[in-house]
Amino acid sequence: MNMTRKNIAMLLFVFAVFLLTPDFSSAAEKLIDCDFEEGANWNYGDHFDLWGEYLGDEWTIVSSDKHGGNYSAQSRDPNPGGILESSGFHFDISSWYTWGSEIFIRFWAKHPVDFVPEATDENRGCNQFRIGTGLSGDWTSGIEYIANGYQNSTFLHFYYDARSAYGTPPLYVYDGQWHEYAVYLRQPTSDSSANGRWVAWRDANGTYDDSTALYTRDNIAQDLPWSHIYFGNYYKGECSGNWTFWVDDIDVWNGMPGGDSQDTTPPASPSGLNVS
């Protein structure tokens, strides 16, 4: 077959593009897959690997109200307050999460209209996300998202440089309906770089980019990689009002899921967090 120089050049170009195109086939691996479909046999430790002795009994598995399937998790009374008395989930990412790593957390939740995300002391508030460094329970240099209470404002607080973003749009809505929530975190590429990122979505309908984001925070700096994550409700004091809410269909990924790149295989027990 005769090949012109133009055809040869085109083939070489296509071959070069093929070689240089990154392979996204394993771009995002599912780390946690928790839909509570075990019903009465659901076990916190099969999905989340920290504080099961405290948080495992802070949920009631119910069939009366769920997003999908047959069951969801309903919060329990958080009084007298404190993270170990509140309904939340806590897991360790230290085995794989390092400079430049990404994590994506997605779940469905329902809050009644009269839900009150604050403690009796309005200056203590209620954390709905906490990202920490070091050993479990050490939030040094981490991030916290306050739902309400502190100066009656929703805000993000970054411990490393003491930055607080007051007036952050509330992530949760209290309307008695199920909503999808998602959070993306990118660790800075080094301890001398300020290029970390936090993005949050509500009801993004599967499209997770800046155009659908509820809010973003860029230029995040850290001196240590984050190592553990808590989400749910963490009352820093006795709860002052209605504390009942429901959670369903939780999944956590080590990157942005989507398209053909996502791994839909359920992770191994307890949570598949030992990612190579």
Place of tokens 């295989």: 265
Burial label for 195, CB within 10 Å (0-12, 13-18, 19+), is middle
pLDDT tens for 123-135 read 666 888 899 998 7
pLDDT number for residue 237: 80
Q: What's the sign of the alpha-carbon dihedral 164, 235, 148, 120?
A: negative
Q: Are 143 and 156 in contact (CB under 8 A)?
A: yes
- Compute the residue count for the chain: 276
Distance, CA of 107 to chain centre: 8
Q: For residue range 163-174, what is the model confidence (pLDDT) as tens digits?
A: 766 667 788 889
For residue 90, the model assigns a pLDDT of 93
Distance separating alpha carbons of residues 183 and 202, to the nearest angstrom: 9
> Residue 83: its pLDDT value, please?
86
pLDDT at 10: 47
Residues of the chain with pLDDT under 70: 1-27, 119-125, 136, 147-153, 164-167, 259-276
d(CA 59, CA 77): 9
Place of tokens 């070069």: 16
> Model's pTM, two decimal places?
0.83
Tell me phi and psi for residue 108, to 5 degrees.
-115, 140
**C-beta neighbour count of 66 within 10 angstroms:** 23
